[in-house]
């Protein structure tokens, strides 16, 4: 009876919290994000551009325990070019999932991977490396915010 109560309580908690589903390109790996992200924005660094094969990466940063793989964990592969980022992808289709940033204590879930999430970017990071100027009125950080080890310098659009 106690176990059932705990499961019921957990289910109620999940039902009241905001949760959004995501997946890789083929759907073999599915995951959820829950709660509120720590930050949202655009990264213009060479690593994100190269990994995403795009001129900019739309990120959502979450506490690691807010990101849960719900199906296909055995298909999750990873690659770390540096100690700052452990990039996760699906071994079935090669689709990107998220990036664990252990030094910052956050997980970047690509905005495009969670289609129903109400993405609202707040800033641009690593804008000094941009290949795509975006005149959207958001702050453009030269590199990273000071609290994440960057200069904290805001540059012009």
Do the beta carbons of residue 59 and residue 42 sit within 8 Å? yes
DSSP 67-78: EEEEE-GGGEEE
pLDDT, one tens digit for every residue, the chain (157 residues) = 333 433 333 443 444 469 999 999 999 999 999 999 999 999 998 888 888 888 999 999 999 999 999 999 999 999 998 888 899 999 999 999 999 999 899 999 999 999 999 999 999 988 999 999 999 999 898 988 888 888 988 899 8
**Which residues, 6+ apart, have CB-to-CB distance to 122 below 8 Å?**
39, 40, 41, 138, 139
Q: Look up the pTM and report it.
A: 0.82
| CATH number listed for the domain at residues 20-122 | 2.170.150.70
What span, in angstroms and rounded, lies between the C-alpha atoms of 103 and 83? 8
3-state helix, strand, coil in the chain (%, to 5): 25, 35, 40
What span, in angstroms and rounded, lies between the C-alpha atoms of 5 and 29? 29
* Domain edges within the chain: 20-122
In our burial notation (b when 16+ CB lie closer than 10 A, e otherwise), range 53-83 reads: eeebbbbbbbeeebbebeebeebbeeeeeee
């Amino acid at each position: 009876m106690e176990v059932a109560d705990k499961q019921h309580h957990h289910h109620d908690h999940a039902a009241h919290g905001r949760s959004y589903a995501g997946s890789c390109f083929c759907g073999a790996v599915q995951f959820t994000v829950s709660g509120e992200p720590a930050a949202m924005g655009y990264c213009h660094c060479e690593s994100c551009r190269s990994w995403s094969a795009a001129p900019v990466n739309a990120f959502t940063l979450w506490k690691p325990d807010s990101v849960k793989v719900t199906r296909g964990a055995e298909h999750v592969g990873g690659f770390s070019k540096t100690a700052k980022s452990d990039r996760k992808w699906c071994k079935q289709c090669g689709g990107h999932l998220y990036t664990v940033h252990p030094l910052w204590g956050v997980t970047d879930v690509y905005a495009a991977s969670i289609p129903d999430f109400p993405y609202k970017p707040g800033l641009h990071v690593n804008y000094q490396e941009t290949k795509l100027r975006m005149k959207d009125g958001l702050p453009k950080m030269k590199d990273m915010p000071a609290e994440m080890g960057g200069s904290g310098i805001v540059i012009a659009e």
